[in-house]
Amino acid sequence: MNSYLTFKVVNEVFAVNVSNVMEIREYEEPKPVPQKMEFISGLIDFRDEVIPLIDTGLKFNLGKVEASQNSVIVVLNLKKDGEEETFRVAIMADAVSDVIEIEEGRLKTIRHDYKPEYVAGSFKNEETFVLVIDPDQVFTINEVVEMDKIIASAKK
């Protein structure tokens, strides 16, 4: 059994393994960043560090997430591609749904020609089709390097 946090982005429902989730918090307006990647909304403070706030709708090609009173920020701990080193990002979601326990056998694979690399599979929860993301695959190594540069320049 694996535990997944489900969240809604635009009209889609996604799930991420709870082992990657560090915190769920109310939406807060991020600090603007002058030179940024399209899907970065800005920067937020998280404990003793500054991390990028990702507009998950833009990153997943679903359209911009419009902040509302239900919007939340989910802080994820991710591994850099092929490394043990981790980094943190915050993602915007229209709402967080539930934590669901899923048996490994219920997770269905999706053919590679129909999905991005970061979609690990899917499952059906009641009448809802849920896409399970592999958060370590959401960002390319070039995007991680660029985010590091943005954070470093904001600290100056």
pLDDT of residue 156: 66
E-strand stretches of 66-106:
72-79, 86-93, 95-102
| Phi, psi for residue 18 in degrees, rounded to 5 | -65, -20
Fold (CATH) for 2-155: OB fold (Dihydrolipoamide Acetyltransferase, E2P) (2.40.50)
The number of beta carbons lying within 10 Å of the beta carbon of residue 81 is: 13
Residues facing 123 on adjacent strands? 130
Residue-range domain boundaries for the chain: 2-155
CB 96 within 8 A of CB 76: no
Point out the residues of the chain with pLDDT beneath 70: 81-83, 112-115, 156
Interval 22-65: pLDDT, tens: 999 999 999 998 777 899 999 999 998 999 999 999 999 999 99
> What residue type is 101 in one-letter code?
E
